Structure 1
Amino acid sequence: MDILFLEPQPFYKHRGSPIAVHLLLKVLSQQGHRIDLVTYAEGETVAYNQVEYHRIPQVPFVHHIRAGFSWKKTINDILMIFVVFSLLIRRRYHVVWAVEEMAFLGVLLKLLFGIPYVYDMDSSLAQQLVEQFPRLARFTRTLEFFEGIAVKHATVVVPVCDALVEDIQKYHPQKTVTLRDVSLLDEISEPVELDLRTQLGLNGDPMLMYVGNLEAYQGIDLLLEGFAMAAKQTRPAELVIVGGAEQDIQQYVQKSRKLGVEQRVHFLGPKPIQHLSAYLSQADILVSPRTKGRNTPMKIYSYLDSGKPLLATNMETHTQAFGPDVAELADPTPPAFSASMVHLIENEALRHEFGQKGRQLVQEKYSFTAFRRTLNQLIDWLEYELGHQPENLVKTKPVAYLSKEI
């Protein structure tokens, strides 16, 4: 197929959505599909077979774009629209693969040119906006109305988790295919020599580790407060935090100081994702204290695959991927999270059991092999549904509103 792929993120960067897109492009290009990738100016250019990059122009002062909505992201999204229309003047496509908010552009392209689109859904944009900007709660119905349009008119919606599938049923999607994230340890890891205990001057006390950004929804406040409480209830432990922007790190350094645990909390800043396996192998306990959102964090699958025990909040963002037989689950309050920390710190046999069960779960359900199989089945269905022979390429001329003709 000829695919117009819309990625509204800095690509490639070592974070959630771009990593997922990287895996998609890897499989699609190996299948022989021709892809025009429209994305932001920022990011590393990774070579794929039959994938051509079309980056928007670099705008002064519009860089270092973070996850979530922002004025910088809005400017980049608008520029993507111009790049897309310039391509449509010259080229024809079987389908548009629209990531996140680009689904709304997918609706427009279907209206104007009759090109079907796939809605690649990492999260509910309506929920995400309200969580990031609580004052928008009064406009929830309006936001859901527009989200519903994007869902309803997609040829297929591809959510990243079961919770999103459940959320969008009220919009009556034509078809949904859940394409779950997978462990990254085998796909992108590179061997590296690492000894954190020596590097940080630590002894043999248990090491807890968090990997990821330090946005509010990740629950770093909960993590630090729970760790401070646990420090008063059990033997000494160390908390290592990998990742985060400098301004967020400074904020949480101050918080750890106020909690009196600054000597036991170590902020390492961002590290190459290729070294993820090496860092996870150093930990005794991995933590995911997320307090908001329903989609499962991509890192969870690498956590489980590492063979290390996992402590996570007892929320759907986690429980849709695994149960209490695989990891320690705690309510998202400092006392509960602290109690679960103590439970794992003091129970080495349980840590070993959780580590083994987590790795087994990933091998059965969340491997790259499973990802490839699901994506291949989706593409086979799309090719059959759209009839992708050369004479069936969608011509870029206006057609009837939301016509099903291709």
Structure 2
Amino acid sequence: MSQSLSILLIAPHPFFAERGTPIAVREAAMLLSEAGHKVTILTFHLGEDPEIPGVAVKRIPRIPGIKKVGIGFSPAKLIADGFLFLKLGWMLMREKYDAVHAVEESVFLAWIWREFIPYRLVYDMDSCMSDQIVEKWPQASSLGSFLRGSEQFVMRRVDHILPVCPALAETCRELASQTPRSVLHDVPPPKSGHQPADLVNLRQLVGSDGPIALYVGNFEGYQGVDLLLAAMERVDPVSPLRLVLIGGGESTGSIRRRIETTSLKGRVLLPGPQPLDHLPFLLEQADILASPRSRGVNTPMKVYAYLQSGRAMVATRILSHTQVMSEEHACLADPTPAGLAEGLETLANDPALRDRLGQSAKALSETRFSRNALGEQIFKAYETEPGIDC
């Protein structure tokens, strides 16, 4: 891309926050800025300063009563999106932007304004919104066809789509086959040069010399933490395997009570959320990394960090995982307590297998999911004549 563009990137969520989509948005902004483009991020009133050199961050006004916007659709998010729509129009009328990079539902807001103000519109697609809404609110299932039709309508009118995984790319092909698309895989956060002084020592935490399994992420239902705990309940109680859960969420209290009142006590540890820059150092301390996601098609961002770490992974055998890796890179287990327990015990009892899977996973990360590969995909959206990348 030889031409420098003025790009407005819309992030319809608290930004910055240490979770999947905001991390991906920050990385996209950094890549575009490093390529010589002028990038401005428009986002909610909530979040930390992302501290991206050369990138301006504009926010909607503070909204009385809305001090938190969680993951997924909610009344608070819809209200914030309304303010985002107004702020977007105000910015577009005051300054000329060559392109708008719209994340998630902000593509609808950007499409409306493009009816009046011309610019290139890129859709950064992190999920199938119609499916997400029906899954969260089953009572809205009667609106499924309308929601899918609305999604198809706007997908056919953008200039380029950046689906986050192959499964969503297939959805794009079905709904908007003529719209150019490029799969925009996530990448793991970069590793800082020095180990943090306050890094949690997993070996000291578990207090034993046995293998350590580690889960990192939020505790939302779709992540499968309950499934992972049920699997640990099936693992032989005399096994030296210990599980550490790093993360949090509204269900933290119930998870902690479950651990304290069952056979999991002393076998599952819950040290709480940890800073994002600690992640690579935490993964290096584990023997087994767990991704127990139970539903959905998006590949969890944690998986890319897991692959890069060179540690063995146990993951559920669902599309979220199988679209980016195979049995050569991870121990894929049936998404049941028995299946996941078998995977955990297999890896716990076979150090040679752990080493082989870890090395294979790291090689996959370096060849397919590097930062350079991500840059190549995102730049396709801003080429003069982008082609379809299936």
Same fold? TM cut 0.5: yes
TM range (shorter): over 0.9
**Contact 2:202-2:286 within 8 A present in 1 as well:** no
The 1:263/1:311 distance shift into structure 2, 3 A limit, reads: same
Q: Distance in 2 between matches of 1:262 and 1:65?
A: 33
- Which residue of structure 1 lines up, in the alignment, with residue 165 of structure 2? 161
Aligned residue among 11, 16, 19 for 1:7: 11
The 1:54/1:332 distance shift into structure 2, 3 A limit, reads: same
List gaps (5 residues or longer) in structure 1: 386-406
Q: Distance in 2 between matches of 1:137 and 1:354?
A: 41
**Contact 2:244-2:268 within 8 A present in 1 as well:** yes
Amino acid at match of 2:285: Q
- Which residue of structure 1 lines up, in the alignment, with residue 293 of structure 2? 290
Identity percentage of aligned residues? 34
- Which residue of structure 1 lines up, in the alignment, with residue 221 of structure 2? 216
Q: Distance in 2 between matches of 1:49 and 1:282?
A: 32
- Which residue of structure 1 lines up, in the alignment, with residue 182 of structure 2? 177
Once the two structures are superposed, residues 156-184 of structure 1 have per-residue CA deviations (whole angstroms, 9 ceiling, x without a partner) of: 01001100011122212411111111122
Amino acid at match of 1:275: H
The 1:68/1:189 distance shift into structure 2, 3 A limit, reads: farther
- Which residue of structure 2 lines up, in the alignment, with residue 202 of structure 1? 207
Instruction: Return the TM-score normalized by structure 2.
Output: 0.93
The 1:352/1:201 distance shift into structure 2, 3 A limit, reads: closer
**Contact 1:195-1:282 within 8 A present in 2 as well:** no
- Which residue of structure 1 lines up, in the alignment, with residue 321 of structure 2? 318
Question: Displacement, 1:325?
Answer: 1.1
The 1:102/1:195 distance shift into structure 2, 3 A limit, reads: closer
Question: Displacement, 1:185?
Answer: 4.0
| Counterparts of residues 85-96 of structure 1 (less than 5 Å) | 85-96=89-100
**Contact 2:89-2:113 within 8 A present in 1 as well:** no
Question: Displacement, 1:90?
Answer: 1.1
Q: Please, which moves more after superposition, 258-267 or 97-106?
A: 258-267
Q: Distance in 2 between matches of 1:201 and 1:244?
A: 19
**Contact 2:162-2:381 within 8 A present in 1 as well:** no
Aligned with 1:281: secondary structure? Answer: helix
- Which residue of structure 1 lines up, in the alignment, with residue 151 of structure 2? 147
Q: Distance in 1 between matches of 2:329 and 2:338?
A: 22
| Counterparts of residues 50-89 of structure 1 (less than 5 Å) | 50-89=54-93
Question: Displacement, 1:48?
Answer: 3.5
- Which residue of structure 2 lines up, in the alignment, with residue 228 of structure 1? 233
**Contact 1:119-1:150 within 8 A present in 2 as well:** no
Aligned with 1:269: secondary structure? Answer: coil
Residue 364 (1) aligns with residue 367 (2): yes
- Which residue of structure 2 lines up, in the alignment, with residue 37 of structure 1? 41
Once the two structures are superposed, residues 302-321 of structure 1 have per-residue CA deviations (whole angstroms, 9 ceiling, x without a partner) of: 10111110000000100001
Q: Distance in 2 between matches of 1:185 and 1:342?
A: 31
Q: Distance in 2 between matches of 1:176 and 1:198?
A: 45
Question: Displacement, 1:258?
Answer: 4.4
Q: Distance in 2 between matches of 1:135 and 1:324?
A: 38
Amino acid at match of 2:303: I
Larger RCO (alpha carbons 8 Å, 6+ apart)? 1
Q: Please, which moves more after superposition, 154-163 or 111-120?
A: 111-120
- Which residue of structure 2 lines up, in the alignment, with residue 403 of structure 1? none
**Contact 1:185-1:276 within 8 A present in 2 as well:** no
Residue 21 (1) aligns with residue 25 (2): yes
Aligned residue among 131, 142, 160 for 1:138: 142
Once the two structures are superposed, residues 119-155 of structure 1 have per-residue CA deviations (whole angstroms, 9 ceiling, x without a partner) of: 1001111111122112222221111011111211110
Question: Displacement, 1:60?
Answer: 2.9
List gaps (5 residues or longer) in structure 2: none
RMSD: 1.7
Residue 261 (1) aligns with residue 264 (2): yes
Q: Distance in 1 between matches of 2:52 and 2:225?
A: 36
The 1:31/1:323 distance shift into structure 2, 3 A limit, reads: same
Q: Distance in 2 between matches of 1:237 and 1:280?
A: 16
**Contact 1:211-1:243 within 8 A present in 2 as well:** yes
- Which residue of structure 2 lines up, in the alignment, with residue 127 of structure 1? 131
Once the two structures are superposed, residues 253-310 of structure 1 have per-residue CA deviations (whole angstroms, 9 ceiling, x without a partner) of: 1222444212211112111100001111111100000011101111101101111100
Q: Distance in 2 between matches of 1:261 and 1:283?
A: 19
**Contact 1:249-1:267 within 8 A present in 2 as well:** no
Q: Distance in 1 between matches of 2:125 and 2:251?
A: 27
Q: Distance in 1 between matches of 2:239 and 2:25?
A: 43
| Counterparts of residues 227-246 of structure 1 (less than 5 Å) | 227-232=232-237, 235-245=239-249
Question: Displacement, 1:227?
Answer: 0.7
Question: Displacement, 1:111?
Answer: 1.9
**Contact 1:20-1:181 within 8 A present in 2 as well:** yes
Amino acid at match of 1:369: N
Aligned with 1:68: secondary structure? Answer: coil
Q: Please, which moves more after superposition, 156-165 or 24-33?
A: 24-33
Amino acid at match of 1:182: V
Once the two structures are superposed, residues 47-84 of structure 1 have per-residue CA deviations (whole angstroms, 9 ceiling, x without a partner) of: 43442221011123312322111122112111111111
The 1:351/1:243 distance shift into structure 2, 3 A limit, reads: same
The 1:135/1:258 distance shift into structure 2, 3 A limit, reads: farther
Q: Distance in 1 between matches of 2:381 and 2:86?
A: 29
The 1:122/1:112 distance shift into structure 2, 3 A limit, reads: same
**Contact 1:225-1:259 within 8 A present in 2 as well:** no
- Which residue of structure 2 lines up, in the alignment, with residue 299 of structure 1? 302
